[in-house]
Amino acid sequence: MSTHDRREFLKSLGGSVVTGAGAWAALESLVPARAAELAVTPEAVQFRPEMEPIVRWIEHTPREQVIEVAVNQLKRGLSYRQLHAGLFLAGIRNIKPRPVGFKFHAVMVINSAHQLALDAPQPDRLLPFFWALDNFKASQAQDVKEGDWVLEPVKESAVPSLEKSRRLFVEAMENWDEEAADVAIAGLCRGAGAGEVIEMLWPYGARDWQNIGHKIIFTAHVWRTLETIGWEHAEPVLRSLVYGLLNGGPGETAVPYAVNLSLAAKVRPDWAAGRPDPAATNAMLKTLRQATPDEAAGQVVEHLNRGIAASSIWDAVMLAAGELLMRSPGVVSLHATTACNSLHYAFRISGRDTTRLLTLLQGASWNVLFREAVRSRNGLPDRPLIDELEPIAASQPPTVESIFHEMKQDRLASARQVLALANSGQPAAPFLDAARHLVLLKGTDSHHYKFAAAAFEEFLHANRSSRPQLLAASVFYLRGANDPDSPLLEKTRQALAVL
């Protein structure tokens, strides 16, 4: 589309692609639905005026046409952030966050797609979002089959003042009171600052391990996404989050929470000034292989009180998660990485010592829960162990190309190659770039995106002594060069060719 044509088109819409009669006329020419079919019923929450038209065409465009329509909207001036926000909010309104997982991955994967897009080369940058659009349409159809849930408007007459909201929200969350929590979080969104609200949510996101850690994943991804699309969209998003967090009620999966809250009070006040210690990381890794949840958390407290840096403990938590994937690759074991990554993100973002210590202690305890869940479902071989992994013997370091071409045949051999590459002193960027590119080309599942984004982030935050092992463990769920291309890839390429 020429610069002149695009300028004239924007001018005809009053400078915006999402407001005014001109915008609706443009949408109606692209979306195969009548205006009446696009109306938001009183039973569904309505978004801000500048976002409603975008959300509606995403909701109502048939799956087989949604990528083509998205490309047309981008040609007409739709921004990346508007597409990002529209897709996320469409999921918030249309997909039930209970259980937190399964079809709701269409919402939780959006930030991972965004993170991969940020670091992708220009030709790849829209691939993850077009995949996410298609994925949303599949989950939307599944939600319709399961009852066609929608997020309802908040009960306005019951929304409390800000001062009351602060107290009522805590009471409602502690008592698992869905109705009271819904109006309280609305009151907080309308009166409190973003930082205050997320500080109130972190402990409840980290409270229980139900649905193999998806509650903290949802919490972290909500905060990350709101930082990108704008806090002005927070109220419906956080209402969906709170509804998801209260799923299931108190149970065994929340048992470590109370123990770890009390343990956090036993950590020395200057714990944040600890020193990194690879030996402590190795000791904690060994503890996580055989401890109970309480024993693992107790060991964290001992290390912190001896002056060990929290970063060394986090290294052990993430190494243990990577090792679990090496020993028994699968959906449950990969969530040890994605859930603990979200706990680690909360640790880095929170400004409260109690919350930061809680997420670290939960990371240790949850690793044990993941370990035993994998053992009970799939069995857990004794090997391989991540600290016993030896780099492949070769006169020259392996190439990134050879690693990804051989990955599908022998993951363990590829891990040894990655370890040799990392130990050679060569930069990790070419490996990360290749891995990211292959996810965008060959990813077919939300977990391909979520795992890659989490694993790459943890690599960058780890101490240097732990990075080679973390990178080596990642190959057990990354895409290889010989994996088949995503079925959506060719359709996406054809659509992008006209941009």
Do 225 and 270 lie in a common domain? no
Do 318 and 401 lie in a common domain? no
Asked which of 125, 145, 165 is the last residue of a domain, the reply is 145
Distance, CA of 289 to CA of 295 (rounded, Å):
11
Do 116 and 24 lie in a common domain? yes
Distance, CA of 136 to CA of 60 (rounded, Å):
12
Asked which of 230, 245, 260 is the last residue of a domain, the reply is 245
Q: Is residue 351 part of a domain?
A: no
Closest CA to 242 of 87, 59, 48, 100: 100
Domain that holds residue 178: 156-245
Asked which of 245, 272, 295 is the last residue of a domain, the reply is 245
Do 364 and 470 lie in a common domain? no
pLDDT in tens, the chain (499 residues): 444 443 343 233 233 223 333 333 433 443 333 344 445 677 899 999 999 999 999 999 999 999 999 999 999 999 999 999 999 999 999 999 999 999 999 999 999 999 999 999 888 889 999 999 999 999 999 999 999 999 999 999 999 999 999 999 999 999 999 999 999 999 999 999 999 999 999 999 999 998 899 999 999 999 999 999 999 999 999 999 999 999 998 887 788 999 999 999 999 999 999 999 999 999 999 999 999 999 999 999 999 999 999 999 999 999 999 999 999 999 999 999 999 999 999 999 999 999 999 999 999 999 999 999 999 998 999 999 999 999 999 888 899 999 999 998 999 999 999 999 999 988 999 999 999 999 999 999 999 999 999 999 999 999 999 999 999 999 999 999 999 999 998 888 888 777 6
Do 11 and 131 lie in a common domain? yes
Q: Is residue 344 part of a domain?
A: no
Do 279 and 215 lie in a common domain? no
How much is the pTM? 0.92
Total number of domains in the chain: 4
Q: Is residue 345 part of a domain?
A: no
Contact 73, 17 (CB under 8 A): yes
* CB half-sphere exposure, 254, CA atoms < 13 A: 16
Do 234 and 256 lie in a common domain? no
Q: Is residue 341 part of a domain?
A: no
Q: Is residue 259 part of a domain?
A: yes
Distance, CA of 108 to CA of 101 (rounded, Å):
8
Give the Cα-Cα-Cα angle 258, 259, 263 (nearest 5 degrees).
120
